[in-house]
Amino acid sequence: MSELFTGLTIPFLLAMFLAVNMGGSGTAPAFSAAYGANVIKRSVIPGLFGVMVLAGALLAGEEVSLTLGKGLLEQQFFTPFITSLILFSIGITLLVSNLIGVPQSTSQSTVLAIAGAATALEGLNTRKLFYEIIPMWIVLPIVAFAVMLVFSLFVFPVLKRRVFTDDYAHLRNHPVLKACLIFASLYVAFSIGANNVANAAAPIASLTANEIGAEAIGNFLPIIILSVLIVAPCFAIGSSLLGHKVTQSTGKEIVDVGPFSATVIALVVASLLLYASVTRGIPTSLVQLNGAAFIALSISKKGTRATFSNRTVKLFFTVWCVAPVIAFALTYLLVSVLG
């Protein structure tokens, strides 16, 4: 038994390190609007975020865990060394993104890191990657963009004329809107748990099952739950340590967002993420869905040229494109050379 724990120690520590970084990255799309509106105090955000992430992972995260745990690469390939290399590659890309202050797609980095290892080991499930996962990565941000563009061009102007002003200064006069904003923040955190906890929990769950033996592989769900219970609390730690800088940059440096607009964005993108998690088991990016919605809102207010010339928008697109590719290349090289 001591040999088993020795083999699992480094991968579990790396998974916890990754979860801390994901907590820093995921705090922004969940709580930036509520924090900016002074509806939720900064001190309580990590606790609320951690609780909702754990709930989402336990109640709605099983399918994504199965996809990442054995859908791209068979469980027998998840040795302590290979799993450590995968988690190390993901963690490094996420850490750099957080230090830059850009919320990064953990799911895309995880998928491509596993794909890099699987390619090096000649065990990649190409059908799952190219016919199921990548198409969803393309479709869902387009849907988020289109829905938000319709709302911002046709729905918001009518509501502002007839119902209320979408202004943080007047938020205290709208207690229902306050409640909706808080609910939307918690809903986003729940959706993050349903989709993103698996990025760290699934590889170590497969590793643990592989190390225990054939009986554990056939009874995978309890091991996933145990892995989630270890990993999910680290999201709250990451939110506390790293979340503030990313929360400040999201939304405020792309376009000024009122509380009602922020609530709609949160509800739209969290629903899309939850749909991908529960019905399809597809790990996808909430921060990209969130970014697509913010860009749509910016286009409606500032125009296309001004939006895409924005320095933050350019930086987001650059990091989103580069980080997953680096995760793939780094894992592939490490597994090829060291594995």
The pLDDT, as a whole number, for residue 251 is: 46
Compute mean pLDDT per 10 residues along the chain, 339 residues long, and list them.
67 90 78 76 86 94 91 90 92 76 79 95 94 95 95 84 63 77 92 92 90 68 88 88 60 62 88 94 88 88 86 80 88 90
127 token code pair: 């059908």
- Under a CB-based contact definition with an 8 Å cutoff, are residues 45 and 243 in contact? yes
Ramachandran sector of residue 174 (left: φ over 0; alpha: ψ -120 to 50; beta: rest): beta
Measured distance CA(91)–CA(20) in Å, rounded: 9
The pLDDT, as a whole number, for residue 193 is: 94
